Amino acid sequence: MTETTVTKKSKNPKAPRLFPDELIDQLLAQVQSKDAESILGESGLAGQLKKQLAERMLAAELTHHLESEAGQGRSSNHRNGTSPKTVITPNGELKLDIPRDREATFEPQLVGRYQRRLPGFDDHVISMYARGMSVREIQGHLLELYGLQVSPDLISTVTDEVLAEVEQWQQRPLEAMYPIVYFDALRLKIRDEGTVKNKAVYLALGIRADGRKEVLGLWIEQTEGAKFWLKVFNELKNRGLHDILIAVVDGLRGFPEAIEAVYPAAQIQTCIVHLIRNSLNLAGWKDRKLLAAALKPIYQAATAAAAAAALEVFAQSEWGRKFPTVAPMWQRQWEQVIPFFAYPPEVRKIIYTTNAIESMHMQLRKSVKNRGHFPSDEAASKLLYLALRNIEKDWKMPPITWRQAVKSVRHYVRRAVHERHELRSFNRPRHTKFLTPPFERPSTTLLGHPLVSLSFSPSPPSNDCCPGTPKRGRGCSLIASFGRPSQKLSHLCLCFPECIQSKRYDQPGY
């Protein structure tokens, strides 16, 4: 009997070697001292190898350039020595001898004629800037670690290149519908017209139909009001956001009037997370955990009446007497808290347990804490955008309770589908009614055709799904399918009002 040997495949296979061992041995033989600096340092073997490789590539570029000119019948051009040039790399300075030609027609590609920084250095600087390091701190960091003498103006020039990206991000198209959008503000000191002023940075954090988080935009303003919020909502609508189901806010002035004008069906909800945080700010650190546990029966109550009773119990309890201003604070905002209890438990849990906006603000404050003040609105926008870009990299999965919330939502949306087509007189989508009481089971037919399925999708099932929709280049987020098993299904977009008003869905027998 012969034995067979089973060889296990390595989970981490080694990358193929680019250089044979003989070549490596020859290179190491040229080094007298075998310490790390002599081999890996910029003045050691690695630095010299990098320099010679770059110069060999530049020489090959010039050879190709001269040969191409000779092939075109121009043979008078020749090599004309070299000129020294120092470029900045992510690991330090690199001094090169750039080859020249007599007629000065050679344009090197590896290192451009006016290029002083190699790829990777700018990303290195922007990464440090995004983590809250000031220009002077970045300058000292580069000098200490890499021996780079970089001026503050160069660092500012590198970071200013992000401004075009910020503008493009602020104007990007959005989804047609977001089930939940959080609106909140962050206070910063920004210089304006020669004086340092306290300005608010307003952020909109949206929860998409698939549960993923997305920052919709940021706006810097010294004062807030209906006029400011009207500008924000019109901007969001022009970018493709046609409906907000739940707008979660924290007492922003002028917000209700503005959102009623642009998104009249949106449900305004006081942010329970902020209400809890404001309550805990009234207590010392050692009492906050116990106070939070005492407040939990209020916002976890089954109904608004049960929550009001729990609030009365809290006011008469030991913690209510120890912190007498907490209960009145909840009572003053009770009218804005009540809508919270009309939502299904799954949706309600998403609102009061999500720490998305809290963790986002914590990381933003960490990025700006070393700044006394910002020289301009653009400087503040630049840093906040870079910090948000790093934060969004960690937003990969939706909340764990989102799947159950979507299942609950799909039942209630049928009522909206039925009412929108029975009324036949409207000028905007009304599918937000699935989150408003009463929740009795509605009819599930459209002009005699039963509702087959309801799905959230980033794009419509077919090109002719939404014949009334303008060519926006974006698909629908909410699709309802009607028909019978033996018939062709008709897909109805629940995002754009133009789709609902299309005559295609009003024809008998369709």
Contacts of 77 (CB under 8 A, 6+ apart): 66, 69, 101, 102, 103, 105
Dihedral of CA 297/299/302/304: which sign? Answer: positive
Which helix (DSSP H) or strand (DSSP E) does residue 80 occupy? strand 79-89
Q: pTM for the full model?
A: 0.62
Q: Domain limits of the chain?
A: 27-160, 168-392, 402-506
Structural contact between residues 130 and 387, judged by C-beta atoms closer than 8 angstroms: yes
- 313-352 residue pLDDT tens: 999 999 999 999 999 999 988 887 888 787 777 777 777 6
- 281-309 residue pLDDT tens: 999 888 999 999 999 999 889 888 999 99
Dist. CA 272–CA 274, nearest whole Å: 5
Q: What is the pLDDT of residue 269?
A: 82
Dist. CA 214–CA 204, nearest whole Å: 9
| CA nearest to 314, candidates 289, 338, 293, 334 | 293
Structural contact between residues 431 and 416, judged by C-beta atoms closer than 8 angstroms: yes
- 151-207 residue pLDDT tens: 888 888 888 878 888 899 999 999 988 888 888 888 888 988 888 888 888 899 998
Report the SS3 class of residue 452.
strand
| CA nearest to 503, candidates 476, 464, 468, 462 | 468
Report the SS3 class of residue 215.
strand
Tell me what the pLDDT averaged over the chain comes to.
Answer: 72
Structural contact between residues 183 and 203, judged by C-beta atoms closer than 8 angstroms: yes
**Virtual torsion, Cα 422, 423, 427, 432, nearest 10 deg:** -70
Cβ atoms within 10 Å, residue 189: 14
Contacts of 80 (CB under 8 A, 6+ apart): 100, 101, 102
Q: Specify the DSSP class assigned to residue 1.
A: -
- 396-412 residue pLDDT tens: 777 676 777 766 655 54
From residue 178, alpha-carbon distances to 50, 184, 246, 345 in Å are 51, 16, 8, 19
How many alpha carbons fall within 13 Å on the CB side of residue 69? 19
- 380-392 residue pLDDT tens: 898 899 889 888 8
Dihedral of CA 330/331/336/338: which sign? Answer: positive
Structural contact between residues 452 and 426, judged by C-beta atoms closer than 8 angstroms: no
Strongest mean pLDDT among 214-228, 262-276, 298-312, 490-504: 298-312
Residue 97: which pLDDT band, with cuts at 50, 70 and 90?
A: confident
Q: Is pLDDT of 68 > 70?
A: yes
- 425-483 residue pLDDT tens: 333 343 433 333 333 333 334 434 444 444 444 444 444 444 444 444 344 444 554 44
Q: Which residues of 220-258 are buried (b: 16+ CB within 10 A; e: fewer)?
A: bbeebebebbbebbebbeeebbbbbbbbbbbebeebbeb
